[in-house]
Amino acid sequence: MKPKNFETSPQFYARIAGLLYLVIIVTGLFAEIFVRSKLIVYEDAAATANNIMNSDLLWRIGISADLIMQICDLPVMIILYYLLRPVNKKLALLNLSFNLIQTAVLAANKLNLLAALFFLGDSDYLKSFNPDQLHALSYLSIKLHGYGFGVGLIFFGFVCLIEGYLIYKSQYLPKVLGILMAIAGLCYLINSFLSILAPQLSNFALLFPCIIAELGLTLWLIFKGVNLTKWREKLAIA
């Protein structure tokens, strides 16, 4: 039987957050692995431009998938604030603030991917540039997107660190999830700062622990949620 006031239960919100988080992970991986990694040829502007022009719709689908990810991020961050505020309201609010900045940066950063497409169009105002110049400008926009993505993930790294601490201290979510999220935060921060300070050392493999941590949290929220007794105890003394 459905419990009374189920719609306002933290368990209900936890499952909604988990499902939306799963959408975030799937759309993010799709855009990165099945779109950009297939169309972008490293350090080859002409080949990248030709791939994008030949797969215009796929490029646009990738951008749309990224925007869906950012849209879903908004309710998730509000729900996580609601779920984690009994542990420490000020830290939960700080976490929400970092998350808002991260989402704003990543959403605005999609303009670079649109610019990469616009430079490869057939508008009259582009005819003052030769094809090689347009290919270079398009590739530069893609490079800017990569750095913009890294900047956004700096803020998300702090989100993961704070969430990791709050989860670890919560008593109504597994401590191991808190540890994994904290490790994910460190990985995001290290990789993003390396991309700025020493690009040759930045590696996508550094983000593998992040996928494990976030997927683990996602599945736990969907299938387990929070320990309601402990959550209410924390809320009562918050």
Spatial separation of the C-alpha atoms in residues 236 and 229, rounded to whole Å: 11
- Length of the chain in terms of residues written: 238
pLDDT tens track for 133-177:
999 999 999 999 999 999 999 999 999 999 999 999 999 999 999
- Please, what is the Cα angle at 88 between 82 and 90, to 5 degrees? 85
Distances (CA, A) of 9 to 166, 171, 231: 20, 18, 11
Put simply, whether the predicted model's pTM sits higher than 0.85 gets the answer yes
Q: Are 165 and 83 in contact (CB under 8 A)?
A: no
Grade residue 6 by pLDDT with cuts at 50, 70 and 90: very low
Structure tokens at 211: 């996928």
Which of helix, strand or coil describes residue 5? coil
What is the pLDDT at residue 148?
97
Identify the burial level of 198 via C-beta atoms within 10 angstroms of its C-beta, where 0-12 means exposed, 13-18 middle and 19 or more buried: exposed
pLDDT at 73 over 80: yes
User: Residues 129-162, buried b or exposed e (16+ Cβ, 10 A)?
Assistant: eeeeebbbbbbebbebbeebbbbbbbbbbbbbbb
Spatial separation of the C-alpha atoms in residues 183 and 176, rounded to whole Å: 11
What is the pLDDT at residue 203?
84
pLDDT at 204 over 90: no
pLDDT at 51 over 70: yes
